Amino acid sequence: MLNIEGLDELSQMNNVQQLIYYVQQNGPYLWDQFVRHFLISIYGVLFAALVAIPLGFYIARHSKLADWVVGAANVIQTIPSLAMLSILMLGFGIGVNTVIITVFLYSLLPIVKNTYAGVKSVDNALIDAAKGMGMTRWQQTYKVELPMALSVIMAGLRNALVVAIGVTAIGTFVGAGGLGDIIQRGVNASQGGAIILAGAIPTALMAVAADLVLAWLERKLNPASRISR
């Protein structure tokens, strides 16, 4: 009935050879899921950054709030990801948006905390100098605090994205797609070892690559390294 080549040799292969065979057979599908996985993670972190960076600045100015906000974000972080997905599924149904919201919630803590720490660590003398030059409050934030805190904020984003890529892999259970689909399929197949690798290795590589790129960006944005150049 079905005419697919190379069926006989396959059973003789080891896992690595099977992995190569699987990638050759299903390359485009694998790539689609890779891109999808990456986008889900990125969207979640991006939305979190839009909320958490301004929030971080705000609580740096209103220290009384800081404990409450960081505390709340901490509580969210302690919920296991599978439980969080299941809870959100009740409200938002199955599908990709539930996973993006989950990633969003997990990304809040590292970004808020780092933004807060970054802004707090800006030398008061710099702020005073800015005031002395007649800068408005907005200019102080935009021209002094933000550039000085940027590398620390970036460290928070980096942390968030690496966690996000891991969380997205579990998103397969609410029908979001991504590389988790491939891992899950490998678990279900009777000879699925190679399929599991085909899903897990790209997931790990994506996390490592995201970490390296953002680490590089973090170094670039560090005021100290900008001066020394």
Partner 1 sequence: MTFKKKMKLAALSSAAVMMTACSLPGLGAGLTEEGNITIATQSSTEMVILGYIVQGMVNHYSDINADVIQNLGSSTMVTQALAQGDADVAAASYTGTALTGELGMDPITDPDEAREAVTEGFREQYNMRYFPSYGFENTYAFLVTSELAEEHGLETISDLEPIAGDLTAGVDNSWMEREGDGYRAFLETYEFDFDTVYPMEIGLVYDAVQSGNMDIVLGYSTDGRIASYDLVFLEDDLNFFPPYDASPSALYDTLEEYPLIEDILLKLEGMIETEQMQEMNFIADEYLIEPATVAVEFLEANNYFEDSEPYLEPAGGE
Cβ-based nearer residue to partner 1, 92 or 127: 92
Instruction: State the nearest-atom distance from the C-beta of 69 to partner 1, in Å.
Output: 16
Minimum Å gap between C-beta 41 and partner 1 is 11
Nearer to partner 1 (CB atom), residue 10 or residue 213: 10
Query: HSE on the CB side for 3, CA within 13 Å?
Result: 0
| Residue 145 DSSP one-character state | I
Instruction: Answer for the pair 169, 179: CB distance below 8 angstroms, yes or no.
Output: yes
Cβ nearer to partner 1, comparing 11 with 228: 11
* CA 229/CA 98 separation, integer angstroms: 44
Under a CB-based contact definition with an 8 Å cutoff, are residues 181 and 169 in contact? Answer: no
Least separation in angstroms between residue 75's CB and partner 1 is 19
User: Minimal distance in Å, beta carbon 37 to partner 1?
Assistant: 10
Distance CA 189, CA 102 (A): 28
Q: How far is the CB of 36 from partner 1 (least distance, A)?
A: 7
Task: Report the alpha-carbon distance of residue 94 to residue 176 in Å, rounded.
Answer: 8
| Site residues for partner 1 per CB under 8 A | 1-4, 7, 10-11, 18, 21-22, 25-26, 29, 35-36, 39-40, 43, 92-97, 100-101, 172-173, 175, 180-181, 184-185, 188-192, 194-195
Nearest CB to partner 1, comparing residues 40 and 144: 40
Sorted by sequence, the CB contacts under 8 Å of residue 10 that are 6+ apart come out as 18, 21
Q: Are 100 and 42 in contact (CB under 8 A)?
A: no
- Nearer to partner 1 by Cβ, of 4 and 227: the residue is 4
